Amino acid sequence: MRGIWYKAVIASQHTAGVTRQSRANITRIAALAFSNLAAGRMPPRVINPAVLPRWRARYEAAMGQPVG
């Protein structure tokens, strides 16, 4: 979890919906993504998979272990 404390990292949920249900879904999805990252797992719903190889390398360099 050490990686999310870097000054260059901003973690925030994106709230695009306006209904109570959509806000609840966005919050749940964001929490799942953050908890996966903190546990060393890939987050679900990666929008741009082309960035994954570089992200994996940066994660491993910062955390000292590969993404699980």
Q: What is the pLDDT of residues 26-44, one digit of tens each?
A: 889 889 988 988 888 888 8
Residue 17: its pLDDT value, please? 56
Q: Is residue 68 part of a domain?
A: no
Amino acid found at 60:
E
**Domain region containing 29:** 2-63
pLDDT beneath 50: ranges in the chain: none
Q: How many domains does the chain contain in total? A: 1
Residue 45: its pLDDT value, please? 84
Q: Is residue 50 part of a domain?
A: yes
Q: Is residue 35 part of a domain?
A: yes
